[in-house]
Amino acid sequence: MTVEEVKNAIRNVPDFPIPGIQFKDITTALDKPECLKWMRDEMVRRYKNLGITQVVGIESRGFILAPAVAMEIGAGFVPIRKPNKLPAETVSVTYAKEYGEDVIQIHKDALDENDVVLIHDDILATGGSMAAAIELVKKLGVKKIYVNCLIELEGLPGRKVLSEAGAEVDCLMGIEVDE
């Protein structure tokens, strides 16, 4: 399996969820065992020797690979969720979206200053949601943060935004935003 083969398995859905958006649908790669395994293995290869203690997945497509990778590298899994989903005490970050605001939450006791964290999501677009996730994880005082997305949408400022925030960003593949 090559990165090009996995890329070709990702479906582009024009005008979803709103006109003008080229939606990158990973479900057509996830349902192919060899693509699913490639994505898991590629992440494990990149992150196995970094002392990562917790893999943090962003709801909801960050929940697909994060636990699989966590198990392989000997880390735990921690969810970042939309508001009012986590049952115990949480910390929150509010961030601006194209239209309005969004809030994300994490359990307050999920991470501490001894943790080395990998934050994972499926797609890096403008970087807004990942920047908010970094801010959220930083609130819990962790030792170090790595950032990974399956796909980087090229032509958008996501990587620049996150690098300026001091995060080490790595994506498995790049796809042109209008491709």
**Positions that interact with ligand AMP (CB under 6 A):** 21-24, 61, 121-130, 153, 158
CB of 166 to ligand AMP, least distance (A): 17
Cβ proximity of 169 and 162 under 8 Å: yes
CB of 42 to ligand AMP, least distance (A): 18
Say how many Å lie between the first and final Cα of the chain, rounded: 22
Backbone angles phi, psi at 111, to 5 degrees: -140, 155
Give the dihedral of Cα atoms 131, 135, 140, 146; nearest 10 deg. Answer: 30
Angle at 5 between CA 8 and CA 20, to 5 degrees: 20
Q: Has 11 been annotated as catalytic?
A: no
User: Which listed residue (40, 42, 45, 98) is catalytic?
Assistant: 98
Pick 60 or 114: Cβ nearer ligand AMP: 60
User: Which listed residue (61, 81, 152, 159) is catalytic?
Assistant: 61
Pick 50 or 86: Cβ nearer ligand AMP: 86
Q: Has 159 been annotated as catalytic?
A: no
Q: Which residues are catalytic?
A: 61, 98
